[in-house]
Amino acid sequence: MGHKLLVLLLTVAALLSGCAHQYQWTSSHYAYKAAPRDEIAVAGVDKAFVLIRSAWFAKKLGISPDSIQTKVTAECSRLLNEELKKRYPRLKSIPSEDMDKLPEESLKLDQRIFIKGKFPEQGVAMKDSSGNVPKYILIVHEVLLGTDLSRENYFDYALIHNESSEIKTHKNLTAIVSYTLWDNEKQRSLFSAVDQVEKPIVKVSMGDVQELVSQIATQIQRDLDEGVVP
Amino acid sequence: MRKLLAILFFFVGLSCAGDVFFDSRYTLWKDGDILIWNVDKSITVDPKEFCLSLKRFNGGIGEPKCRILGEWERDSVSVHYANWLSYNMDPQSKPEYLKARHPAMVAKLQALEDKIVMFVSRSEGNVKVALFDETESKPKIAGVVQDNADQIALYDDLASTFFDKPTKRRLSKAERAKLASEPDEYYQEVPDFNGWIGVGLGYAQAKIPLTPDNWYRSHIDSKVRRYRITKDSTSLWNFIDDSEPFLSFYAGGTWYGFIGAELIYRVAKHNVKTDGKDTSYEELDHWDFYQHEIGLSIHLSKTFPIKSWLDISPYIFLGFQYSFFVEDIDVKDEVEKPSQAYEKRVEFEEVYKGALVGIGSQFVFAKHYGVNVKAGISSRGRDIYSDPSPDAAAEPTTIGGSTIDCFVSLGLEYHWVL
């Protein structure tokens, strides 16, 4: 009886997984042949972070609800810059005013997954803060910080307008990051992805947030390496 | 050997002439405007000579007008895109990778209005080419041709690689406005009633194609002896010839292009299969039966407007019919008194009832003149509505109680709509 039930469950699981939409969360350009090591600059980090459930964070971190959004996002931006610098020691940065003036566009990863972001103009190379032209630019479009988020709900256009009530849980800290590796020489996107990283919640402190940001940087680097087209 | 080399060089020459990266279909207009967009000043394209090359390689292109797209060559947005395009075009490019993103550039492309923009740029011994029209913000076709110091040869290569396709005439503004206001014929309303009358010629036989011969053999091979004796009498085909042509007259109509009815009259002549060896027929001059049938069928159809002058309506029909067999018999003039057997010859029922079922299709030309092809199966049996009598078993079998044939017919019709 026991193993019959197991077989039935497995069959149902197989059927369900067969029917569900298989998301493709990354997209590589055919010209993405090698992951960047140097000559890379980062853009958009200072405006990318968004805190979801800020009241909960305010309570847990002991910060006033009025200033939680600005304080935490500013801190996270600084941390992400630092973490990326650990992984790409010669990382430069693109001045945020150069990115701000660009229009927001959408980029398709999958039939249902579209990321929104700002992309440099075609035919115009971006300069970093010291006036040099970096070969690659890592454009961080958006980082959502929250608890128990799932990226489908934010990036699948068929689901983003869902207004069904969901039970707010807090088992994990979640960060969803969307970013693009930009070829600054030929002004094209080489690699784009939406990543989701999680960290179990024990007792939330700024240290946990810092670890989560570190995980984001690790995940970005891992995906950039894996996204190379053979 | 020399010939082989010549052929080889010919193919090498062909493959060098041009390499197309991708080709999404675009409309090449007759007498069209070709705008040459060239931001790379190391290459010059002479519009007049290029136009002559186009005419040489495409007879249907009419009188194209070529000119340099100066306004784009001076605009910074389009210059940026042109530069970007020239170093992003490669054999692996797909149109979506080469899409213009700047809103001002997209607007420029959308404002082209039937003009074709030919982007050219020189790179590493090749000339990169991309064609744009107003329908999309990405190139319709892109590729390279080999650079050539001989300008005319280069224009010929460009013309043969990118402009060698059928052309269409551009509509005038007034024609366009009229076309835009015309209702789409595929969305036209189905008339409430479509009626027709027609006359048809057909052919019927007992054997239904793709069925075994032995189902029919005993009926078809049977002969009539002494005016009434056959092996079996359940089918009329034991007495009379089954395979005969027929003539039909019919009228019908469909409501809302879907359901309808048809009334049909059909007439055929069948000879009685008298046995030649039987001496009792020596007195006989002729013996035939005229088959008259009146039927009514339900007609289910769907109309497909294939062209403005042709509608095709396949249909199925299902109905019932009454069959009357009228005897035409006479003895020879010299016979004064027919034999006893003649007097007691077989008699058919006054009327047979049956069903008919089949498929067909109407081809209506110019909304009025139709050709109708149909095929089906019809049956004739005894009147099943009569009450069975208590001594039914003792009654003699009805002659032709189960007479089935299949038919095909071709009709000419006149149609009208209400």
Q: How far apart are the C-alpha atoms of B400 and B389, rounded to whole Å?
A: 19
Mean pLDDT of chain B: 88
The CA distance from A122 to the nearest CA of chain B, in Å, is: 6
Q: Which residue of A has its CA nearest to B78?
A: A123
Query: Which residues of chain B neighbour A186 with C-beta distances below 8 Å?
Result: 84, 87-88
In this structure, the strands spanning B33-38 and B65-68 are parallel
Q: How far apart are the C-alpha atoms of B394 and B412, rounded to whole Å?
A: 49
Give B6 or A163, the one with higher predicted confidence: A163
Give me A225's structure tokens: 């390496």
In this structure, the strands spanning A188-200 and A26-28 are antiparallel
- Least CB–CB distance from B81: residue in A123, A186, A188: A123
Question: What is the arithmetic mean of pLDDT over A149-167?
Answer: 81
DSSP A47-108: GTEEESSHHHHHHHHT--TTTHHHHHHHHHHHHHHHHHHHHSTT-EE--HHHHHTSPEEEEE
Rounded to two decimals, the ipTM of the complex is: 0.82
pLDDT at residue B388 greater than cutoff 80: no
A186 to B88: CB separation less than 8 angstroms, yes or no:
yes
Query: Which residues of chain A neighbour B105 with C-beta distances below 8 Å?
Result: 122
The answer to whether residue A187 neighbours chain B at the CB level (below 8 Å) is yes
Produce one character per residue of B256-273: b if its CB has 16 or more CB atoms within 10 Å, e if not: ebeebebebebebbbebb
Q: How far apart are the C-alpha atoms of A215 and B50, rounded to whole Å?
A: 59
In this structure, chain A runs to a length of 230
B101 to A105: CB separation less than 8 angstroms, yes or no:
yes
Reduced 3-state DSSP string for B137-153? CCCCEEEEEECCCCHHH
Q: How far apart are the C-alpha atoms of B414 and B418, rounded to whole Å?
A: 14
- The pLDDT tens digits for A167-180 are 778 888 999 999 99
B83 to A123: CB separation less than 8 angstroms, yes or no:
yes
Q: How far apart are the C-alpha atoms of B105 and B132, rounded to whole Å?
A: 12
- Going from N- to C-terminal start, the domains of chain A cover 24-226
Phi first, then psi: what are they for A216, rounded to 5°? -60, -50
Q: What percentage of chain B carries pLDDT values higher than 70?
A: 92
- Give the pLDDT of residue B120: 92
Q: How far apart are the C-alpha atoms of B285 and A55, rounded to whole Å?
A: 113
Q: How far apart are the C-alpha atoms of B408 and B392, rounded to whole Å?
A: 37
Looking at the DSSP bridge assignments, the partners of residue A115 are A107
- Give the pLDDT of residue B418: 85
| Residue whose C-alpha is closest to residue B384's, from B417, B418, B352 | B352
Q: How far apart are the C-alpha atoms of B145 and B164, rounded to whole Å?
A: 14
pLDDT at residue A30 greater than cutoff 70: yes
- Give the pLDDT of residue B195: 95
Cα dihedral B37, B43, B48, B49 sign? negative
Q: How far apart are the C-alpha atoms of B331 and A212, rounded to whole Å?
A: 114
Interface of B with A (CB under 8 A): 79-84, 87-88, 92, 97, 100-103, 105
| Residue whose C-alpha is closest to residue A117's, from A97, A135, A143 | A143
Give me B231's structure tokens: 């092996």
Phi first, then psi: what are they for A66, rounded to 5°? -70, -35
Kindly list the distances between the CA atom of residue B202 and the CA atoms of B70, B98, B247, B261, B375, in Å, as whole numbers in the listed order.
Answer: 71, 63, 6, 20, 9
Kindly list the distances between the CA atom of residue B136 and the CA atoms of A105, A144, B345, in Å, as whole numbers in the listed order.
Answer: 17, 35, 85
Q: Which residue of B has its CA nearest to A105?
A: B101
pLDDT category, A14, cuts 50, 70, 90? low
In this structure, chain B runs to a length of 418
Run of H or E including B37 = strand B33-38
Q: How far apart are the C-alpha atoms of B153 and B162, rounded to whole Å?
A: 14
The runs of H, that is alpha helices, within B131-206 are 151-162, 173-181
Q: Are A148 and A166 in contact (CB under 8 A)?
A: no
Query: Which residues of chain B neighbour A29 with C-beta distances below 8 Å?
Result: 97
Give me B120's structure tokens: 């050219």
The residue to which tokens 């992805």 are assigned: A193
pLDDT category, B16, cuts 50, 70, 90? very low
- Among A97-106, A197-206, B236-245, B392-401, whose mean pLDDT is lowest? B392-401
The CATH number of B190-417 is: 2.40.160.20
pLDDT at residue B81 greater than cutoff 90: yes
- The pLDDT tens digits for B245-301 are 999 999 999 998 889 999 999 999 999 999 888 888 889 899 999 999 999 999 999
CA geometry: angle at A127 spanning A124 and A133, to 5°? 90
pLDDT category, B234, cuts 50, 70, 90? confident
Q: How far apart are the C-alpha atoms of B344 and B370, rounded to whole Å?
A: 48
pLDDT category, B15, cuts 50, 70, 90? very low
Residues ≥6 apart with Cβ < 8 Å to A99: A43, A44, A47, A118, A139
How buried is residue B29: exposed, middle or buried, by Cβ count under 10 Å (0-12/13-18/19+)? Answer: buried
Q: Are B226 and B212 in contact (CB under 8 A)?
A: no
The residue to which tokens 């007759």 are assigned: B30
Query: Which residues of chain A neighbour B81 with C-beta distances below 8 Å?
Result: 122-123
- The pLDDT tens digits for A63-86 are 998 999 999 999 999 999 999 999
- Among A209-213, B188-192, B412-416, whose mean pLDDT is lowest? B188-192
| Residue whose C-alpha is closest to residue A53's, from A204, A214, A220, A219 | A204
Phi first, then psi: what are they for B76, rounded to 5°? -70, -35
Reduced 3-state DSSP string for B83-121? HHHHHHCCCCCCHHHHCCCCHHHHHHHHCCCCCEEEEEE
Q: Which of B102, B106, B109 to probe by mutation at the A interface, max A CB count within 10 Å?
A: B102
B102 to A122: CB separation less than 8 angstroms, yes or no:
yes
Q: How far apart are the C-alpha atoms of A186 and A33, rounded to whole Å?
A: 14
User: Rounded to two decimals, what is the model's pTM?
Assistant: 0.62
Give first-to-last CA distance, chain A, whole Å.
48
Question: What is the arithmetic mean of pLDDT over B189-202?
Answer: 90
pLDDT at residue B91 greater than cutoff 70: yes
Amino acid making up residue A173? L
Give B344 or B184, the one with higher predicted confidence: B344
Kindly list the distances between the CA atom of residue B116 and the CA atoms of A144, B23, B135, B136, B157, in Å, as whole numbers in the listed order.
Answer: 45, 15, 11, 12, 18
Amino acid making up residue B80? H
- The pLDDT tens digits for B121-170 are 988 888 999 999 998 999 999 999 998 889 899 999 999 999 988 999 88
